[in-house]
Amino acid sequence: MEKNWIRRLLLWPLVAALLAVVASAALPERLTPVGRTVGIRLESDGLVVVGFEETRSAARDAGLKMGDTIKRVNGEDVDSCERFKMLAAAAGGEPLKLELLRDGKTVEAVVQPEQDGETYRLGLMLRDGMAGIGTVTFYDPDTGLYGALGHGVNELQSMVLLPLAYGEILPSQVVEVQKGEGGAPGILKGAFDVEERLGEVDANTCHGIFGKADEALSDDAPISVASAGEVHTGSATILSNVEGDKVESFTVEITKLFPAGQDMGRNLLLTITDPRLLQATGGIVQGMSGSPILQDGKLIGAVTHVLVDNPAQGYGIFIENMLESCPAYCEAA
């Protein structure tokens, strides 16, 4: 009996190793790096609490917190701020029973609105979606899958990952660049066409947004995908769209690598060395997140963050870590 237990225990490392091989085999070996900006429109799954009135707030007094997601009001689903206002008005000043999602757990709260003349106030600010531009990192011509940003879309006040109900990517053009300076990050200002869709956003994760494109997002040929262990310090390039809809290649220098455990979209530190990009943007600016990073002919990662005090420098995520956050590839594993 004892020997059987020993055999079983000795088998566990082998089983774990086999599972790891299966999981890694599901990740694609070749992808097309893209580098084009797209409009990103997301609708939240519930309403995110983004703030309270400074003086008096019945909602804050009832225990609501920044980043809470309101799912139901008096038993009714809410999917927009207008729907919330309608249900609150219909209550006529009576207490509102709210069902919230907080840190993955369901919480209930009862809010007694405060009368203000002929109206009632909750002292509550909500968000039901977000829109902006970002950069597509890769497109998989075999499946139509794409990934963008290299980091998640967070609600700006609470910094909570926006819970996704529906999203789409749209054609865009960069119409203006606000250059980055020390202490003031720059930004790409874009215009996007709300009448034409390029694809759906199926997942908003801490390592990027993912979905399936309605059409090819690039005509370029796919290239090999590098593992984290293949990435090294030294010269590299990024693909970025900082004017109109034109994607260009710019030189960078990877100056430092970080252990895989210190993730959060900061696996490598890079410095923009291309004088054309420094002239155009001052370095890395908002909207460039997701710009694919290439080294030794392989796709190695994506730009994720800028150093506020030095916009010529920023962080990137290993493409391996980004792909492992894509639900479609995880399901395939």
Active-site residues, by number, are 151, 274, 289
Secondary element (H or E) of residue 299: strand 298-307
Residues present in the chain in total: 333
| Euclidean distance between CA atoms 76 and 87, whole angstroms | 8
* Residue position matching structure tokens 């034109």: 246
Residue at 95: amino acid letter: P
Cα Rg for the chain, rounded, in angstroms? Answer: 23
Q: Give just the sign of the alpha carbon dihedral 208, 211, 217, 221.
A: positive
List Cβ neighbours of 51 (8 Å cut-off, separation of 6 or more).
Answer: 66, 124, 125, 157
Residue at 233: amino acid letter: T
Cβ(148)–Cβ(134) under 8 Å? Answer: yes
Cβ(290)–Cβ(136) under 8 Å? Answer: yes
| Euclidean distance between CA atoms 190 and 175, whole angstroms | 5
Q: What are phi and psi of 239, to 5 degrees?
A: -105, 125
Q: What are phi and psi of 111, to 5 degrees?
A: -115, 125
* Residue among 225, 226, 208 nearest 147 (CA): 208
